[in-house]
Chains A and B, each alone.
Chain A
Amino acid sequence: MEETVQFKLNGKQTKVSVDIDRKLLWVLRTDLEQTGTKYGCGEGICGACTVLVNGEALRSCQMTVKDIVGKEVTTIEGLVVDGKLHPLQKAFMDHDAFQCGYCTSGMIMNAYSFLKDHPQPSYADIIAGMDDNLCRCGAHKRIVEAVQSAAKEMKGGI
C-alpha cells in the first residue's frame, strides 16, 4: 500500500510516497538514490546494508519503510559533516582498511554504533562487535586496527 511517510535521513526531514512494506535498503538505494548502502546477501547475514536507525546499527535489507517512520536514519553519506570525514572514515583510509570497498559502508556504520556503546573497546570487544559483518577480501586485520585508532581519536565522543 502506497503511503506518504516522513522520517529523518542524514539529518534532513524526508518525505517519501512508497509502499511502506518495501524494504528500506531498496528505497534508500533507488527512490532516494543513496547508493552507499550495499546489497550483499538480502537476508541480514553479511552486514553490507547496515545503516543507523536512531543510532542503532541495523540491517536495512531486513527492515521495511514502516519500521522507520518518524525515526532517524543515517547512512554512510550522512557521516561526512561540513565536508569533514568522520574519524572512523579517516581511520579506515589511514589503515587501508578495505580492498574492494563493497563491505566498507556497512563496516563503518556498524563500527559507529559499536563505538557509541563501547567507547574504550578492547581487541576482543571489537572482534565480537564486528563479527557479524562479512568481508571477502580479507581486510579484517586492518578494519580492527582502524576501529581501534578511531576509538582513541574519538575519546568516547561520536
Chain B
Amino acid sequence: MEERVIEDLEFVEHSSDFSIDRRDFIKLAGSGIFLFFVLGDSALFAQERRRRSYPSDFNAYLKIGEDGRVTLYTGKIEMGQGVVTSLGQMLADELDVPLESVDMVMGDTELCPWDMGTFGSMSTRFFGPPLRNAGAEARLVLLELASDQLKVPVENLKTEDGNVIDKSDSHHRVTYAELAKGKKIARGPSGKATLKKPSEFKIMGKSFNRRDGHEKVTGQAKYSGDIKVPGMVYAKILRPPSHKSKLVDVDVSEAEKMEGVQIIHEGDFVAVLHKYPDVAEMALSKVRAKFETPPSDLDDKNIFDHLLKVAPEGSVVAHDGDIDTGEKESATVVEETYYDGYKAHAPMEPHTAVAQIDGKKVTVWASTQTPFPAKDEVAKELGVSADDVRVIPPFLGGGFGGKSRNLQISEAARLAKLSGKPVQVAWTRKEEFFLDSFRPAAVVKIKSGITDKGKLNLWDYREYFAGERGAEQFYTIPNHRTTVYPGGFMSGGEAHPFATGPWRAPANNTNTFARESQIDIMASKAGVDPVEFRLQHLSDEKMKRVIKAAAEKFGWKPMRTPSGRGFGIACGIDAGTTVAAMAEVEVNKTTGEVRVRRVVCAQDMGLAINPEGATIQMEGCITMGLGYALREDIRFKGSEILDVNFDTYEIPRFSWLPKIETIIIDNKEAPPQGGGEPAIVTMGGVIANAIFDATGARVFQMAMTPERVKEALKKT
C-alpha cells in the first residue's frame, strides 16, 4: 500500500544537483557545530531514493551557532501546513533546547540541500525520523565536548534547555553556545545516537501555536509578490482565450505608446512590462491580438464519455478470489458509475515569481512547492548551469499541489533575460484559473454484491483518470479486484483539454467518494446500519478504532438508511493515516441546497508531533473539502475555461461552516504519518451518504450541486 502511495506521486525524475559541498557550506555558515544527515534511514525513504537517485552524501543539516541558536536547513517549504513548527519541535526535543531557539531556513536552494518538493504529506513522515536522529547525534557531540571541558565522563552528564549539566552538581554546567564558540566541527551520523522514547518527550506530542504568527498578523510576512528588487518591473503576459488557441496576429502599437511601457515579443510570447503592475495590465488590455482556436465539442458534461473512450488499457493492482464466482454467489448485485469534475487549486495567492539576472548569477523568488526542480527549470529556460541559479521561496500563500508546477517561474526568468531587468510575474486570478493544473475529471465504475446474509462478496472496481492513490479497498470481501486505467493526475496527458496535476490528497478524494458511496449502498441493500455494516467488514483494527471513536463523539445510533436523519459516514486511508468522518446534513428538497450542520472526524496518524497543528489541518481539510463536495467544478467549452474567478467558482465561506469536532487517536508509539491531506478524502463520501440518509436520493457526481441533488431527488 505504502509503495503505491509513493508511486502515485508520478513526479518527474530529478538528479541530485546540490551545488555546494560541506566545506563550502561551513565557510558560508560560519562557526559552530554542524550535523549533516541523510534521509536514507527509513525503509519508505529507501524506496523513494531508488526511484529518484537521491544524493548519496547528505541532504539536510543543522547548525548549533556560537549564540546557542540552532538552525535547521531544509529543502522543505512552509505553505500553511505548519511544518515550520512541527519540524522545529522534533529537533528541539531530541537536542534538548527550547523550541524558541530553533531557526528554520527553508527551501533556499543555495543554503539548503536538495529536496524533491513539499507534497504528499511526506515532510513529517520521511523527513521527521532522520531529523530527530540528527538532533540526537548533535546532542551526543555536545555531550562529548562538554565532557572534555567539564572533565566529567559523558555518562555523568545530562542535557537540559541548551545546557550540558553535571548530574552530581547542577551548578557545574556549560551552555551549547559556549561549546560551539570558535568551533568548526562537522559530523555526519555516527549511528550511536538513540532517539527519545515517547515517555521522554518534552516538546513532541505537545501543542504549540504556529511559529509564523507574528509576521502573518502584522502583514510583515513576505510572499513572492512582496519582493521588490532595484530596477524591477512587473510583467503582464498575453494569454490565449483557450489552451489550444494559436496566435495569428498581434498589434502592440497602442500599448507601446503608453509611457514607460516595454513590450517583449518573441514568437507567440507577448508581454508588457512597467514599473507598476496595474499600468502593465492596462497596457496589456491595449494589445490587440487575433487567435485561431481549433473547434472542439468537448465540455464539462461530455468529458466523462470522452475520457472513457480514450482510456488506455487497465491493469489490476489488487485482487483476490474470483469475480465471476462472487457475482454468481451474490443475492444482490449493484453496478454504479461515479463522476468527478475538474477542480481548481485556487490558492489565495496566485502563482508569482521574481527573477533577477546579475551577470552569471540568476536569483528567483517564487511561490513554489518545488524550489529545487524549479531551479532546473530556470536553468533550462535560460540555457545556464543550474549551479548559477538560486531559488528562494518566501512564504507561500497556499499550494495544495498546484504550486508544484512552476510555469510562472520560467516566464519570469525568460522575461528577465529578454528585458535585461529584474521582472516580477504575478498571475491575475483569471490567469491562475486558466493556467492551473486541475484535479482531473475522473470516472469510477463499481460492481459490488452481497450474499443473502448481507455479506459483501463481490467488489469489482475500475478507476479512470483519478489516479491510483486510495483506489484499493480495505474491507473484507472474498472476491475483489481493483483495476486502474493509467492516466492519473500527472499522466492524463492529451486526454484532458488542459493541464492536470496533484490536488490535496490526489486521487484519493475521488476514490474515497466512490468507494464509500458504494459501500453505503450495499449497507442499505443489506438493511444494516452503515456504521455497523462497515465494522462487520473490517479487520483493520486502526480503522475500526477511528470509526468507533467518531461514532461515540457523534452520538451515532444504529439505524437502517435512509433514516431521514441526514447522517452519513465515510472512512479512508491516506498518507499512512487512517481517518473516519461523520456528518449531519440538511437538504432543502425544493432547491436542492445541502447544508452541512456538523462534522466529526477521527484520525489515527501515529505520533502527532504538534496536536494543535494536526487539528488545524483536519479542520482545514473538512472546511476545504466542503467545496469540492458541494460546489466546485470547472466549467469549460472546448479548451476555454469558463470559471475564472470566485464569483462563479465558489469556494467554502464562513456561512458554510459546520460545527467541526476532531479526534486524534492517542498512538504515540507509532511513527508519525501524514496530516495535511488525509481528512479531506472523506468529505465527498460522507456528504453523499448523509444526503442519501436524509432523502433517499443518491448523488453520483461531485460536486453535489443543488441541480444534481434535485436531479437525484427526482429519481427517488
In the bound complex, do residue B79 and residue A100 qualify as a contact, i.e. CB atoms below 8 Å apart? yes
Contact check, B396 vs A80: say whether CB atoms are below 8 A apart.
Answer: no
- With beta carbons under 8 angstroms apart, the residue of B225, B275, B430, B616 that contacts A35 is B225
* Residue in A36, A39, A127, A134 whose Cβ sees the most chain B Cβ within 10 Å: A39
Interface pair A127/B220, CB less than 8 Å apart: no
Least distance between B230 CB and chain A CB atoms (Å)? 13
- Tell me, yes or no, whether B80 is within 8 Å of chain A by CB: yes
Contact B429 A140 (CB under 8 A): no
Q: Is the CB of A39 within 8 A of B225?
A: yes
Main secondary structure of the interface of A (DSSP, over half): loop
Instruction: Judge if A102 is at the interface, Cβ distance under 8 Å.
Output: yes
Of chain B, the residue at the smallest CB distance from A91 is B217
Q: Which residues of A contact B348 (CB under 8 A)?
A: 38, 40, 46, 48, 100, 102-103, 134-137
- Distance in Å from the Cβ of B247 to the closest Cβ of chain A? 24
Q: How far is the CB of B658 from chain A (nearest CB, A)?
A: 9
Among residues of A, the one whose C-beta sits closest to the C-beta of B277 is: A26
Most buried by B among A42, A43, A138, A143: A138
Do the beta carbons of B217 and A85 come within 8 Å of each other?
A: yes
Q: How far is the CA of A94 from the CA of B215 in the complex (A)?
A: 13
Chain B, Cβ-Cβ closest to A94: B209
Pair B218/A42 contact, Cβ less than 8 Å: no
The CA of A31 and the CA of B310, in the complex, are separated in Å by 52
Which chain B residues lie closer than 8 Å to A36 at the CB level? 218-220
Smallest Cβ-Cβ distance to A88: which chain B residue: B217
Q: Which residue of A lies closest to B625 (CB)?
A: A138
* Residue in B216, B612, B652 with the greatest tally of chain A CB atoms within 10 Å: B216
Q: Which of B182-225 contact A (CB under 8 A)?
A: 209-210, 212-223, 225
Whether B398 lies near A138 (C-beta < 8 A) is no
Name B654's contact: one of A43, A75, A144 (CB within 8 Å): A144
A127 engages B347 (CB within 8 Å): no
Known: A76-B218, A131-B654. A136 touches B400 (CB 8 A): yes
- Give A86 Cβ to nearest chain B Cβ, in Å: 9
Indicate if B25 sits at the interface (CB-CB under 8 A): no
Give the complex CA separation of A68 and B350 in angstroms. Answer: 27
Is B113 among interface residues, defined by CB-CB distance under 8 A? no
Complex alpha-carbon distance, A41 and B346, angstroms: 10
Q: Are B623 and A96 in contact (CB under 8 A)?
A: no
Contact pick for A131, options B80, B212, B429, B655, CB 8 Å: B655
Residue among B212, B348, B619 with most chain A CB within 10 A:
B348
Residues of B within 8 A of A85 (CB): 214, 217-218
Within 8 Å CB of B556, what residues of A? none
> Given that A46-B646, A134-B651 are known contacts, is A35 also in contact with B219, CB under 8 Å in the complex?
yes
Q: Which residues of A contact B (CB under 8 A)?
A: 19, 22-23, 25-26, 29-31, 33-43, 45-46, 48, 75-77, 79-80, 85, 89-90, 92-94, 96, 98-105, 108, 126-128, 130-144
Given known contacts A90-B217, A96-B210, A131-B655, what 8 new A-B pairs fall within 8 Å (CB)? A26-B277, A89-B217, A89-B218, A96-B612, A99-B398, A105-B219, A132-B653, A144-B657
Q: Which residues of B contact A (CB under 8 A)?
A: 79-82, 209-210, 212-223, 225-226, 228, 234, 275-279, 346-350, 395-400, 426, 428-430, 612, 616, 619-624, 645-647, 651-655, 657, 660
List the 4 closest A-B pairs by CB distance, nearest first: A36-B219, A138-B623, A102-B397, A100-B80
List 29 A-B pairs, Cβ < 8 Å. A19-B279, A22-B276, A22-B279, A26-B277, A34-B219, A35-B226, A38-B348, A39-B225, A40-B348, A46-B646, A76-B218, A79-B218, A85-B218, A92-B213, A93-B214, A94-B209, A99-B80, A99-B620, A101-B212, A102-B349, A108-B217, A127-B657, A128-B655, A132-B653, A134-B653, A137-B624, A138-B619, A140-B654, A144-B654
